[in-house]
A and B are shown apart, each in its own frame.
Chain A
């Protein structure tokens, strides 16, 4: 549904996007992770047709360039900055956006009602958006992108500034969209969100894709070993070699197979008390690939 081939974009001396290719399938949630300045926004702007790439091409829905109005009709975009009219009510915002996408009459009414329900904003529908909380605005911003039943959806940091309850609801909605056949491209800073809903994740930095795979594969390939800490309840038998160091009766070591290593220690006659295994996550993947944390 989303195909980008060898996209490049330069602003003056800065190469914002460097030979980037990606493909998002129908029903897939594709996560694009990268720190500020990685080129995510420039990439999205090129993918939705607001910016013309210096090189490369974008095709949406297998039909053509997003610069064409008829292609943009299948596109839903929820930008990171809330793009809502504060002076208008939630319902008026949705009605206006629906009309821009060619909806009218009963269809428009029906879709606006659906969107308000989807965003759980029915009771506030007739209140100006200026009176909404941050979470309510974010939900309205999201459903504004879905009003016209797009088959390709771009969500730029959709959960920024949203409380935990609203975030869960939003993530469930995004997953539901994909399950219904939408191709969703999502950018986020929150690793747990990417791990939770993304089918595949691309790590981006300095305008380039550094890695692309499922979360599990990325962690396996780039996350490194799990960190294990275990309490020693007995003396270490003579001749037994421990996999790590002991400090204050606590054994610490790293391992690709932490549970098997713990079982092996037990088999060697070492009695273990409480233990803790810290598995690698996307943050570790990111650190390993870029040398810095995602929020740096």
Chain B
């Protein structure tokens, strides 16, 4: 004998399969979303002036006046905000968690040659969030600009210029392998620098100009920091397809559609009279409600499996099947709970459908389901914390490409599970009262 829960859940899934429009929104719509966003993914990083500042976590191991000046120049850019970080490892994890665009590591000795175009410089480490490649390119431009301004600073500051020539003279004297002719030529050059320093007024006390472009020549050596270093062995540490970004959002759309469909089905049962037969049957009212929740969860899991199957065919290489399962279960549970809550938003099918879709669109809009969070203004990013869609997407991204560990999954999963529990509790209470 089949448990009533399964009987009820199977019936609801059966009904969904017969509803072509409902099926379109649950299955076809998210696929279209995933593919469409994936195809336009390369153009995600436009030059939108309202785009939020890209936070760059700076690990300054040099702590010299020049390194601080460099960070300050970088921070002056309109679209970049710097933030000090204790070490590269912590910063790398924050970038992976989507809390910053990049980590910038300034090595010791940076200040000695910074802004001196002929000197060999230690390389700066730069690790960019793989999902924000276009912004990463913008950041590289800003770094060059800041380095260019360092050179201007050098030439405006006679002390610094003299210090550079003194250091160079000292290194020249210590190096016995340099031919005499080269040594004489370099002496002339250093003398010219001294003359330039003598002729340059000390502007250090004057107000420094802000903005302006640096020279076009490359003044900086950059070394890539792999933000996904230290992940499970054998896992490739980079985004492998454009679908990595678009499919998690598309999966959430599928789940949102599921939620909308099943929320409406509860009030539909009431209106059509079938709820009467269910309530007169030898089952508990909890079974009726849990059956809906189970059907919603199973359908959501089916959508996730379908999307991931399609994603795999397109090139998504899943990093952690275990974490994907965790993300899928937590998301399906969370949103099925929300479905329960949504089903009590109105007394008629039309009222629940209207209120439900308004809620879905709002959650998707602020949660990164329509526009990736990376391209939202800061206030919207703050608001996104209140959208379950954000946490769902983050959980899937964590399993698919962010290289999350179980500990990293705790926050999004806890939020999704908590939301599910609250949704079930409130929905149950209201629905049972309305029976």
Q: Which 6 A-B pairs have the closest CB atoms?
A: A81-B273, A83-B277, A87-B18, A69-B282, A72-B282, A100-B281
Residues of B within 8 A of A128 (CB): 18
> Interface segment, A22-30, A91-99, A119-127, A158-166?
A91-99
Q: Are A81 and B282 in contact (CB under 8 A)?
A: no
Q: Are A83 and B282 in contact (CB under 8 A)?
A: no
Cβ contacts A to B, 13 pairs, < 8 Å = A49-B280, A50-B276, A69-B284, A79-B280, A85-B274, A87-B15, A88-B18, A96-B11, A100-B8, A100-B278, A101-B281, A102-B1, A128-B18
Q: Are A100 and B283 in contact (CB under 8 A)?
A: yes
Residues of B within 8 A of A79 (CB): 273, 276-277, 280
* Cβ of B435 to closest chain A Cβ, rounded Å: 8
Q: Are A99 and B2 in contact (CB under 8 A)?
A: yes
- Indicate whether A73 reaches chain B with its CB closer than 8 angstroms: yes
In B170-222, which residues have CB < 8 Å from any A CB? Answer: none
User: What is the interface of chain B, defined by CB distance below 8 A to chain A?
Assistant: 1-2, 4, 7-8, 11, 14-15, 18-19, 272-284
* Cβ of A102 to closest chain B Cβ, rounded Å: 6
- Indicate whether A70 reaches chain B with its CB closer than 8 angstroms: yes
CA A77 to CA B273, docked complex, whole Å: 12
CA A128 to CA B15, docked complex, whole Å: 11
Q: Are B282 and A100 in contact (CB under 8 A)?
A: yes
Report the count of interface residues on A (CB-CB < 8 A). 28
Q: Are A83 and B272 in contact (CB under 8 A)?
A: yes
- Indicate whether A82 reaches chain B with its CB closer than 8 angstroms: yes
Residues of A within 8 A of B4 (CB): 99-100
* Cβ of B265 to closest chain A Cβ, rounded Å: 10
* Cβ of A111 to closest chain B Cβ, rounded Å: 14
Residues of B within 8 A of A81 (CB): 272-273, 276
Residues of B within 8 A of A70 (CB): 282
Residues of B within 8 A of A102 (CB): 1, 282
* Cβ of B19 to closest chain A Cβ, rounded Å: 6
Q: Are B18 and A84 in contact (CB under 8 A)?
A: no
Q: Are B281 and A72 in contact (CB under 8 A)?
A: yes
Q: Are B276 and A100 in contact (CB under 8 A)?
A: no
- Indicate whether A229 reaches chain B with its CB closer than 8 angstroms: no
* A62-82 near B? 1/0 per residue, CB < 8 Å: 000000011011010101011
Q: Are B14 and A88 in contact (CB under 8 A)?
A: yes
* Cβ of A253 to closest chain B Cβ, rounded Å: 50
Say whether, besides A87-B19, A100-B278, A104-B1, A92 and B14 are in contact (CB < 8 Å): yes
